[in-house]
Amino acid sequence: MTTPSLEIKELAFAYPDGNQALYGVNLSVQKGERVALLGPNGAGKTTLVMHMNGIHPTSHGSIHVAGQLVDSKNKESLKEIRSKVGIVFQDPDDQLFMPTVGEDVAFGPYNMGKRGSELDAIVNEALELVGMLEFKERPPHHLSFGQRRRVAVATVLAMKPEILVLDEPSSNLDPASRRELADILRSLDITMVMVTHDLPYAYELCARSVILKGGVIVADGSTHEILTNSALLSANRLELPVGFSIQ
Amino acid sequence: MASKLEQENHHHGHDVGERLYLHRHSLVHSLPSHLKIIAAIAFILIVVSTPVTKWLAFVAYFLWLLTVVTIAKIPFSLLFKRSLIEIPFVFFAILMPFFGTGEKVQVGPFDLYREGLIAGSGIVVKGTLGVMTAIILSTSTTAREILRGLERLKLPALMVQIASFMLRYVNVVNDEMERMKVARESRGFEATGIKHWKVLATAAGALFIRSYERGERVHLSMLSRGYEGVLPHDEPPKVQTKVWITAMIYPMVAALIFITQLVIGRM
């Protein structure tokens, strides 16, 4: 067996105010896998994501990305980890902070030391992957929400990550943008962890799902199995949309 | 390049950050921003160091400024409308001739103090020339380009970063403010008097908290992409001597006027 892209062991975390969010999470994601991370609001999904690239320091347990330990005290390794874990945040306006789309996509690889024509090639490639190359010179606020979300994905792809982490990728998207994004995500040859409430989206894109509730993983299996287990879903405040059924 | 600008400008209607910029194809528009900033500052320095009693020099400055405005294809109406912004600043200068001591002069129906009149009109005239120069700069250069220019002029990186984030998020915050306003009005609220200030103050507070939280999220997403205190910036392009000279014509002519008044003053 090869090294997993993501290996989380016994991860626990409490906020400084004493509020404990994670109570020992175990999760292993193999290279090339697409995993949906499901769970009700307040389950600790975002907290978990923030651990994956060392934004929250690991206080208990361990996280390895492609075999490398996430250690928030080691600045050099943290830099490498952050280039390996690409997080696409929920609100693209939080992610697109540079004056133009192109400059924003260049931000990550620039921090990784890329310059000049090499940087330019990376930016063009990433924008091409999400079909946004023609918007390179545009300021982000002139784009539609769906376009901004796609650029946000490109900003992360430009860092050539080992693993792509998406926080609610389908939220606020109209049906066409939602489908376009799904097509793009499916076309990428990359390990993916997708945090979502959108169960049909998880079903469409991820073969495997895990449910996080109360700071622990309560279910881990094929998305089909999990979404057809209605008792499991309702115990975790998850619901398929009305009229949606899986055979 | 031109079509790119055109494309951008097409959207500028609702763009709060770039509402000062007026898209035209002119020599002034085409100059590199850092040269324009240097030229504007040099012009202003020359103007303020001219003694106010040399009124002919100021007439010449004004004529020259209006010539540049014409070259920049900026409508005079826009120039004058925008220069109204100086009124609160020169308000006291206008009052100066009415209060003071010493020799008095009769100007029309008013009995004015000579010292105050000279000092006051000096501030107004020099202020107007300065403001109008700033208007030429801000109308012919996008805010984004002005920031790039300041960066090339080695303004501290932190200041440029803060200003460019402001430019990026002024639209986001403005939209948020609009949505809050619509939400208030949808529930029958209309700000009419002082008793409504409490509601507006609460809204402003909420907006502040939201923006603060957004700032934290933006910072997180920057850290996630390896931010270490330096924003990417492009290498400054090589500027030809010809372009340099063209940009410097603006303060150079002012310098000529300045020298002329000195020479005439001596004679």
Name the CATH superfamily for A6-94+163-235: P-loop containing nucleotide triphosphate hydrolases (3.40.50.300)
- Write the DSSP string, A114-168: --HHHHHHHHHHHHHHTT-GGGTTS-GGGS-HHHHHHHHHHHHHTT--SEEEEES
Work out the pLDDT band at B12, boundaries 50, 70, 90.
very low
pLDDT over 70 percentage in chain B: 94
Q: Does B229 touch chain A (CB under 8 A)?
A: no
Nearest to B43 by CA among B119, B139, B124, B132: B132
Please tell me chain B's helix, strand, coil percentages from 3-state DSSP, rounded to the nearest 5.
Answer: 75, 5, 25
Q: Does A156 touch chain B (CB under 8 A)?
A: yes
Summarised one tens digit per residue, pLDDT across range B150-159 is 988 989 988 9
Chains A, B: CB contacts within 8 A come to 82
Q: Is residue B8's pLDDT more than 60?
A: no
Summarised one tens digit per residue, pLDDT across range B95-146 is 888 887 778 888 778 888 888 888 888 999 999 999 999 999 999 999 889 9
Per-residue CA distances from A138 to A93, B67, B128, B165 (Å)? 14, 33, 35, 16
Among B9, B147, B220, B225, most A C-beta atoms within 10 A, so best to mutate, is B225
Given a cut of 70, the residues of chain A with pLDDT beneath it are: 1
For chain A, the straight-line distance linking the first and the last C-alpha, in angstroms and rounded, comes to 32
Q: Is residue B9's pLDDT more than 80?
A: no
For residue B14, the chain A residue with the least C-alpha distance is: A142
Q: Is residue B74's pLDDT more than 60?
A: yes
- Average of per-residue pLDDT values in chain A: 92
Residues of B within 8 A of A137 (CB-CB) are 4, 7-8
Residues of B within 8 A of A141 (CB-CB) are 15, 168, 171-172
Q: Which pLDDT score is estimated for B97?
A: 84
Cβ distance of A110 and B172 shorter than 8 Å:
no
- Which pTM does this prediction carry? 0.79
User: Tokens at residue B215, please?
Assistant: 């700032």
pLDDT over 90 percentage in chain B: 41
Residues 68-97 of A with CB under 8 A from B: 79, 82-83, 85-87, 89, 91, 93-95, 97
Distance from the A191 Cα atom to the nearest Cα atom in chain B, whole angstroms: 17
A127: Cβ–Cβ under 8 A, 6 or more apart, which residues?
Answer: A101, A102, A105, A133, A135, A136, A151, A154
Which one is predicted more confidently, B165 or B190? B165
Q: Which pLDDT score is estimated for A210?
A: 96
Q: Which pLDDT score is estimated for A76?
A: 85
Work out the pLDDT band at B4, boundaries 50, 70, 90.
very low
For residue A149, give the 3-state DSSP assignment. helix
Nearest to A53 among B4, B164, B224 (CB): B224
Q: Is residue B11's pLDDT more than 70?
A: no
Q: Which pLDDT score is estimated for A41?
A: 83
Summarised one tens digit per residue, pLDDT across range A181-222 is 999 999 999 999 999 989 999 999 999 999 999 899 999 999
Q: Which pLDDT score is estimated for B6?
A: 39
For residue A94, the chain B residue with the least C-alpha distance is: B218
Domain map (residue ranges) of chain A: 6-94+163-235
Summarised one tens digit per residue, pLDDT across range B206-257 is 999 999 999 999 998 898 888 888 888 767 778 889 999 999 999 999 999 9
Q: Is residue B10's pLDDT more than 60?
A: no
Work out the pLDDT band at B267, boundaries 50, 70, 90.
low
Summarised one tens digit per residue, pLDDT across range A112-136 is 888 889 999 999 999 999 999 999 9
ipTM confidence: 0.79
